[in-house]
Structure 1
Amino acid sequence: MLKSFFILCSGSDSDILKSCSNGEQNKYAGIGATVFFTAVMAGIAASYALYTVFNSVYMAIGFGLIWGLLIFNLDRFIVSTIKKRERFLDEFIQALPRIILAIIIAIVISKPLELKIFEKEINHVLLEQKNELTLANKEQIAQQFNPKISDLNNEIAGLELQITEKENSVNNLYNTYISEAEGTAGTKLLGKGPVYKEKRDKHDAALLELQQLKKENKEKIATLENQITNLENTYNTQVKNTQPVIDGFDGLMARINALGKLPWLPSFFIFLLFLAIETSPIIAKLLSPKGAYDLKLEDAESALKTWVKRNAEERNTLLKTEINLNNKVYSNIAEEEELYQYKRKKARELMQLQADAFFKKQQNIL
């Protein structure tokens, strides 16, 4: 049962193969098994590739099944159409387009499985790329807000500097009138005289101005700080909203690019493995000697070609004979006087009818 199934997978003529030896049957059963398992691996690879794209098990399995059947049909067609020739070069030229197709199929099959085999390493590369993208994203968004925040901080620093300068001025005035009272500066007179009172009033006025300045600048600083807080919240919101895009940076193309950043040698050997599997039925057909099945198949095809050619030649001979007979019959009939007189009579009647019809038409016009 299993042997019959693999023979069916090989694309060979089962009726002819039944009349061959067990060795010949086993050879084609092995070729069919290679075709079958290549299609199974192609289906698994396609399922995984589609699962990484759509993240749906049912869709991945369905498409993987269709892809596996497609590869099975292609491989079966490739193997079944390779015929044994007298010279190996003729066989190789015949198989060359099919070998190119097999290489393409091997690349398509091997790549998704490489992604699965090196999944951990790919995830590490993707993590590094995501971190780089996160930092770059924050820097790009920050470029929209940092100049505004910097300007607001400069305004706050300027307001605070005004307060500091005013405080220094008030402190200097305080030291001035205290020194005047102690007699250590100014008039050098100990006590609270007119000059002391003048300096004290000047200090008190400056102190009131300082208090008013602190009140006004505090309100301005609070407003500016609120603007900075709003800008920072907007920045954090934009970073938060764009982060899912970066977190989702693990699609099929991203994984293929990440695979390209890994050492190429392991991936290359996996590709060679699948290339060997995919081309093994073709290589087996090319390297295997001309067996009983090939001879019987060639005999059957040659018999069919001979039968078709004979039928075509018989039809051509029949056509030529029929043409010759018809020419001879019509030549003999053309020489009969009775047929000539009959045709002459009918032609005369036709010309009379045409003349009468023309006369009536001209009469109606007049």
Structure 2
Amino acid sequence: MLKKFFILCSGADTLILDECSNGEQNKYAGIGATVFFTALMASIAASYALYTVFDNLLTSIFFGFIWGLLIFNLDRYIVSTIKKRDSSLDEFLQAIPRILLAVIIAVVISKPLELKIFEKEINQVLLEQKNELTLSNQNQIAEQYTPKIEDLNSQIANLNSQIDTKEAEVNSLYDTFISEAEGTAGTGLLGKGPVYKEKREKHDAALAELQQLKTENKAKVSALETEILSLQGDYKANVNNSQPIIDNFDGLMARVNALGELPWLPSFFIFLLFLAIETSPIFAKLISPKGEYDFRLEDQETTVKTWTMQKVAERKLLLKTDNDINNRVYTEIADEEEVMNYKRKKARELMQLQADAFFKNQKSAL
């Protein structure tokens, strides 16, 4: 049962192969098994690749199965259309397009399995890329808010500088009137005289201005700090909203690109393995000698071809003979007087009818 199934997979004519030896049947069963298992591996590889895209197991298995059937049909077609010839060069030339197609199929099959085999290494590369993208994303978003925040901080610093300047002025006035009272500066007279009172009033006025300036600047600083907090909140919100996009940066294309970052030699050997598997049925037929099945198949095909060519040749000969006979018959008839008289009579009647019709048309026109 299994042998018949693999023979069916090989694309061989079962009616012809049943008449062949057991060894010939085993050869085609082996070719069919290679075709089947290649399609099975293609289905598994496609299911994994689609799972990284859809993230749904049933959907991935379904479309992977469809892909496996497609590869099975292509391989079966490739193997079944390679015919054994008398010349090895002719066989190789007819196999070149099929070998190129097999190479393409091998690439398509091997790539998803490479992604699975090197999954841990690919995840490491993706992690590094995600970290770089995260930092780059934060820097790009910060460029939108940093100038505004720096400008607001500059305004706060300017307001605080105004207060510090005013405080220094008030402290200087305080030292002045205290020194005047102690007699260590100014008039040099000890006690609180008119000059002292004047300087004290000037200090008190500056102190009142300082208090008012602190109140006004405090309100301004508070408003600016609130604006800074709002900008910082917007920055964090943008970073948090864009982070899931970076976290999900592990699709099929990202993994293929990450695989390209790894050393090429292991991937190349895996590709060679699948290329060998994919092309093995083709080369098996190319290097195998012309067997019993090939002779029987050639006999059947040449029989049909010869019979068809005979039928076509007979039809051509029949047509040529019939044309020759008709030409001779019409040539002999053309020389008979009776035929000439009959033709003359009918031509006269036709000309009379044409003349009558022309006369009626001219009469009706008048």
TM interval, shorter chain, is over 0.9
Could you report, residue by residue, the CA deviation over 1:302-345 in whole angstroms, capped at 9, with x for unpaired residues?
A: 11111111111111111122112222222232233222222211
Percent identity over paired residues: 72
Could you report, residue by residue, the CA deviation over 1:159-218 in whole angstroms, capped at 9, with x for unpaired residues?
A: 001111111111111122222222222222222222222221111111111100100000
**Partner residue, 2:340:** 340
**Partner residue, 1:2:** 2
Q: Is 1:29 aligned to 2:29, yes or no?
A: yes
User: Cα RMSD over matched residues?
Assistant: 1.2
**Partner residue, 2:38:** 38
Write the distance in 2 (CA, Å) between the matches of 1:357 and 1:290: 80
Q: What TM-score do you get using the length of structure 2 for normalisation?
A: 0.97
**Partner residue, 1:352:** 352
**Partner residue, 1:113:** 113
Write the distance in 1 (CA, Å) between the matches of 2:159 and 2:56: 60
Q: What TM-score do you get using the length of structure 1 for normalisation?
A: 0.97
Could you report, residue by residue, the CA deviation over 1:94-128 in whole angstroms, capped at 9, with x for unpaired residues?
A: 10111011000000001111111111111111111
Could you report, residue by residue, the CA deviation over 1:47-95 in whole angstroms, capped at 9, with x for unpaired residues?
A: 1111111222232222211111111111111101111122222211110
Write the distance in 1 (CA, Å) between the matches of 2:180 and 2:75: 111
Could you report, residue by residue, the CA deviation over 1:117-154 in whole angstroms, capped at 9, with x for unpaired residues?
A: 11111111111111111111111111111111111100
**Partner residue, 1:63:** 63
Q: CA deviation at 1:355?
A: 0.9
Q: Is 1:320 aligned to 2:320, yes or no?
A: yes
Write the distance in 1 (CA, Å) between the matches of 2:351 and 2:210: 135
Q: Secondary structure at the match of 1:186?
A: coil
Write the distance in 1 (CA, Å) between the matches of 2:58 and 2:335: 84
Moved over 6 A (4+): none
Letter matched to residue 34 of structure 1: T
Segments of structure 2 that go 5 or more residues without pairing to the other structure are none
Q: Secondary structure at the match of 2:105?
A: helix
**Partner residue, 1:148:** 148
**Partner residue, 1:248:** 248
Q: Is 1:157 aligned to 2:157, yes or no?
A: yes
**Partner residue, 1:222:** 222
Could you report, residue by residue, the CA deviation over 1:246-304 in whole angstroms, capped at 9, with x for unpaired residues?
A: 11211111111000001111111110111011000001111111111111111111111
**Partner residue, 2:129:** 129
Q: CA deviation at 1:240?
A: 1.4
**Partner residue, 2:233:** 233
Letter matched to residue 213 of structure 1: L
Aligned length in residues: 366
**Partner residue, 1:100:** 100
Write the distance in 2 (CA, Å) between the matches of 1:222 and 1:33: 80
Letter matched to residue 302 of structure 1: T
Q: Secondary structure at the match of 1:249?
A: coil
Letter matched to residue 48 of structure 1: Y
Write the distance in 2 (CA, Å) between the matches of 1:186 and 1:332: 160
Write the distance in 1 (CA, Å) between the matches of 2:71 and 2:138: 46
**Partner residue, 1:16:** 16
Write the distance in 2 (CA, Å) between the matches of 1:365 and 1:73: 77
Comparing 92-101 with 198-207, which one deviates more in the overlay? 198-207
Segments of structure 1 that go 5 or more residues without pairing to the other structure are none
